[in-house]
Structure 1
Amino acid sequence: MIENGMRYLRGYVKIQIQGYSPERFLNLCSYHHILIWGLAYEDHCYELCMSVRDFKRIRPFAKKTHTKVRVKEKYGFPFSLYNNRKRKLFFAGFIICIFLLQIYSMFIWDIHFTGNETRTDEALSSFLREKGVFAGMLKKEADCRKIVKEIRTQYDDVVWVSASLDGSRLKIQIKENEDSFEKEEKKKDENAVDLVASSDGVITKIVTRTGTPQVHVGDTVKKGDILVSGRVEIVNDSKEVIGYKYCHADADIFADTQMEYEDELSASYEEKVYDKKKTSFLCES
């Protein structure tokens, strides 16, 4: 594949040879280290391919062996340029494209973080931006040693960090202190607040505002079960859990429950009977 690409860039020709002694001509080419390929015998003549540079060397051999050489086809980038020499806009666009690619390769277009467990990529990118490191800056202005020093100075729990340029990407690898991370997780876990069921029932509706739901509509729960957790998972682009965020869980949860009710009623009661006495009123004029 690479060899074919180089042949195309340099250009090559397909020639046809015939005459008194074409085999002697081929032997002279081999003796003088002229590379030929695609050799075939058709219609009492040989057809083969060779580079443009070697084609310029075979004239004495053809004359010496009384061989007639005819160019049948021309291939490669130099011939394409010559055939399209009148297409000025095409070449102008090609040159501009190469120029723009060269310009773009001088800039950093992406900052990639790995190993950060307690801090998000956005937080680290914001910190680097304050220090003058951002996507779109010139690569020659990015001092990797200075970046490493700034991160180590800002974050005490970072025990190791490296920065390197890979093409147009700035790669930053971070190693955090796992002991401090576990202590912080434990402290945050103590501040998290979960929502628990106050009685047995079947969930009919749940609207979560903060936290992670642990149940769904139709689930049967018992008193004391966690309905919404105060711990929220933080995932990366690969959907892998890289940390947790702790909060006070908040949600509206509705459930069908059963409640026992007891009351006592008397088996007998007094019935009031009213007489039919008429009531008269005295009016004075």
Structure 2
Amino acid sequence: MYHAVTLENHEACGHVHVPYGAFAAQLQWLYENGYETITVSEIGDPRQSEAKKVVLTFDDGYYSLYHLVTPLLKRYRFSATLFLTTYPVGAASYDVLPALEKEFPEGDRPLTWQELEEMEHSCWDIQAHGHQHLVHNTLGLHALTAEIEKSKTVIERHLNKAVRFYAFPYGRYNHPCLRITRELGFVKVFTVQPALARFSSNRFRMPRIEVNRYVTMEQFAHKVCTGFGSRGEQLRWFVLQFVYRNVKWKDRIRAIYRKIRK
């Protein structure tokens, strides 16, 4: 899971955005170690061996994906999925999203529909990531449904394609989120929980492995091979996944925690 790629390593632009040199080295490592990219639709396909397969995903929709990432993907004959936030498409800045944290790279504007159409017909698969990048588990049912459905219908209208995959902004979700995405026809939904995606993975809570500016090449290789940055992280998420197996229980635990904090 990536976001933007930056030409310089500016601290002010947020830890989720990866410097170009580091990103290029990561793609080269994947290529030299025999990895092939597959699409999100192919995850869990029994015709695809799980060994040496990787899905590259990017969130939001930054111009750097068109300008910097696409040439690298083409160099290695890789493909990628963009989970697109639709409201800011064509805007001059991500300032149009008041709920989005102000840590996006300076000058890295949202993509335009023309650029997205070029990407879709190149090495990208454009899927949905909300309309205004709102925190989903804080929304009422009407607002939540509109936020998810709008992103799906806007992409389908502009790019003339079926949108069947969704990624929760910030990775935040609750039981209504899972129910609504299912009702709207999504077939896989992605979180920010680390792990390797397997045939047995819950298709409405698919894991993704975050790659940020602080990930070293050694850590990157470990994440690709294991799904986790360290044994400590793996143990922590094993416990959380056990606790949160039932999403309704997860929602209740979070509600109790919020009351205690108040």
Question: Which structure's residues are more often strand, by fraction?
Answer: 1
User: What TM-score does the superposition give when structure 2 sets the normalisation length?
Assistant: 0.17
The structure having more radius of gyration, on CA atoms, is 1
**Larger RCO (CA under 8 A, 6+ residues apart):** 2
